[in-house]
Amino acid sequence: MNDRTTTAPPVLDVRDVTVRFAGLTALDAVSLTVEPGTVHAIIGPNGAGKSTCFNVLSGLCRPAAGTVTLGDTELTRLAPHRIAALGVARTFQNIVTTHGTVADNLMLGRHALTRAGFAATALRLPGAVREQRRHLARAREIAELTGLGAHFDSPVALLSYGDRKRVELARALCLEPRVLLLDEPVAGMNAAERARTAEVVGELRTELGLSIVLVEHDMGLVMRLADDVTVLDFGRSIAHGTPDEVRRDPEVLRAYLGTDTQGEDAA
Amino acid sequence: MKTHRAVRTPGGLSLRVDVRTLVVGTLLLLVALTASVVLIGTGDFPIPAADVVRTLLGEGDPGQEFIVTELRLPRVLVGLLVGASLGLAGALFQSISRNPLGSPDVLGLGQGATAGALVVIVLFSGTANQVALGALVGGLATGFAIYLLAWKRGVHGYRLVLVGIGVSAVVTAVNGYLLTKSDIVDAARAIVWMTGSLDGRDWDQVWPLLALCALLVPLVLANSRGLRMMEMGDDVSYALGVRVERVRLVLMLSAVLLTAAATAASGPVGFVALTAPQLARRLTRSPGPNLVPAMCMGAALLVSADWISQRAFGAGQLPVGVVTGVLGGVYLLWLLVTERRAGRI
Ligand SMILES: Nc1ncnc2c1ncn2[C@@H]1O[C@H](COP(=O)(O)OP(=O)(O)O)[C@@H](O)[C@H]1O
Ligand SMILES: [Mg+2]
């Protein structure tokens, strides 16, 4: 149904991106490269600039300097909805869903891919009905992929915290992205929910061949899933490498792991 | 809990339909149409409902036909269109500002249109059509002013409401000044206009309003999914591929146009835009902007209010704006009291 997923995703390249908020430098000449089909984790203490980095990638925040490119396309000048249309989807740190069922929410994710207008849908024109049915079938597939198959017709409000958080993940997948940005996908979940979500993210990467950028505090999860890790501290990129390299980096230990070792214990 | 049911159509398609919303919308439409028939039958020369229907279908006697199609039908149609426009505009503004008080009444769009009309009446002693044009221009200018003052990466919550209240205060003062400058004949005419009335409305008011609705309603509905998504916040909507700024601009402009045109046709009929969306939402119990139910509710409210005013006080005695003002005012107080109890204000 969508040929994007059959081809390898383009390289996502972040070059010397700087973001300032009224005197505060939230990102200071940060560079990172997300290779096609890999999981790239961004870690760092609270306020390090991880969410700001996502806002730059998804076009919600214009950097003062630097560029972001996806393949040959420069994203820094594009409106957020154009970036979404190019196949960059994201989730947010806080759960934001609408009322209604899981299916309702996932169908909102199909918004940009839906061609039939309101009138055609309301009048049940054959073309619109066919399209709607296709989208619904795909949404159900995605729900199954993310472990929400059993809840497809349940109201979101009745789901557990972990499931609700995965509704956002599934909704982002409904955009048929090539690059998926996950902002703290397991924050607030219990151990079982974390394990379940980690499994889902791993499957996404192998089955859909997505590039995934992951912001996460759970070091165990990062070590398990990530191919590359970039460490931010006070807006600066202080280390970059494989999880093992980063884990041993003295500056990282001092800036990050030194202040929060409980994640490591969990690993 | 929302009643969601998968409706199987012959094509085997499982469509999610909010059954309650559908039923409420249909019932409101029926109420509006029934009230219209009754209203057409009401007046110095009463006509039974059955005869009204027969005449509308083109089988009445010539005497009734003249009264129905030339005198009363256009008036009722203006009522339906004004009510629907105000209901829709109110739902749009309330959804965009995410605030039940963010409606055209509170924002001063009605007062702006009134200012335009007063300028034409008082300074130029213009014809009815010129007054309508003045109201349209006044409403659009006010909408533009609010947009310029309130816009700052989106208009939400109390910012829009507060700016609107400020604009409204200024315009109301201007209106008062214009009234003091007018002679007694113009002043009487102005006061009648300002209360909002359907008296003497004919096909000249129906056609422009109908044309505008025919243009704007489909445009608005085509953007309704974007609007529903925007209730989750701008960032989430952008991330899901909604052209947030454009959708908002199109919908705000449509809402301003609908309000200004409705006001130009009937004068400022108070509180319909404020109450219709809220009442509709409470009946459907469905989240989201509820655009179509609000439209049906607006039409039903306005025509019913006109019927009440004619029944209780006789034809041409009490302008419909007085009735909607009283009903809407009571509703607003009730809203404030219950919101206060619920701890939201
Ligand atoms: N819109 C904003 N306006 C002002 N400051 C902001 C804004 N967004 C983020 N910041 C600041 O930028 C810094 C980085 O924030 P953020 O990217 O959310 O950190 P993280 O996600 O790594 O915890 C913080 O100091 C935060 O207060
Ligand atoms: Mg963050």
Cβ of A52 less than 6 Å from ligand 1? yes
Say yes or no: CB of residue A229 within 6 Å of ligand 1: no
Least confident of A181-190, B248-257, B277-286: B277-286
pLDDT in tens, A128-156: 788 888 999 999 999 999 999 999 999 99
The DSSP call for residue A45 is S
CB A237 within 8 A of CB A32: yes
**Which of A84, A122, A132 is facing B13, going by the closest CB pair?**
A132
Contact B219/A at CB under 8 A = no
Q: Do A98 and B242 touch (CB under 8 A)?
A: no
What is the distance in angstroms between the CA of the first residue and the CA of the last residue of chain B?
25
Structural domain harbouring B271: 4-341
pLDDT of residue A128: 78
B228 Cβ under 8 Å from any chain A Cβ? yes
Q: Which of A17, A18, A20, A21 to mutate to test the pocket of ligand 1 (most atoms within 8 A of CB)?
A: A21
Query: Can you give the CATH number for the domain in which B23 is found?
Result: 1.10.3470.10
Please give the ipTM for the structure prediction: 0.86
Position B325 confidence tier, pLDDT thresholds 50, 70, 90 = confident
CB contact under 8 A, A79 and B221: no
State both tokens at B255.
Answer: 């809402």
Which mutation among A24, A54, A92, A214 tests ligand 1's pocket best, with the greatest number of atoms within 8 A of CB? Answer: A24
What's the pLDDT tens digit per position in B2-50? Answer: 444 444 333 333 344 567 888 899 999 999 999 999 988 887 788 888 8
Question: Alpha helix (H) ranges present in chain A?
Answer: 50-57, 80-85, 102-109, 118-122, 126-145, 161-173, 191-208, 219-225, 243-248, 250-255, 262-266
pLDDT in tens, B40-78: 888 778 888 888 888 888 887 888 888 888 888 998 999
Domains of chain A, start order: 8-87+177-267 (3.40.50.300), 98-176 (no CATH)
In which residue ranges of chain A is pLDDT below 50? 1-3, 5, 260-267
Looking at residue B152, its pLDDT comes to 62
**What angle, 0 to 180 degrees and rounded to 10, lies between the N-to-C axes of helices B244-266 and B128-150?**
150
Q: Give the model's pLDDT for residue B134.
A: 94
- Nearest 5°: CA angle at B274, between B172 and B179? 20
Which pLDDT band holds residue B1 (cuts at 50, 70, 90)? very low
B115/B113 Cα distance (integer angstroms): 5
Give the pLDDT confidence of B187-208 residue by residue, as tens digits. 888 888 888 888 878 888 899 9
pTM comes to: 0.86
| Side chain identity, residue A138 | R
pLDDT for A123: 65
Q: Which atom, in ligand 1's list, is nearest to the CA of A53?
A: 17
Question: What is the pLDDT at residue A2?
Answer: 47
Asked if the model's pLDDT at residue B292 lies above 80, the reply is yes
Q: Which amino acid is at B319?
A: P
Q: How many domains does chain B have?
A: 1
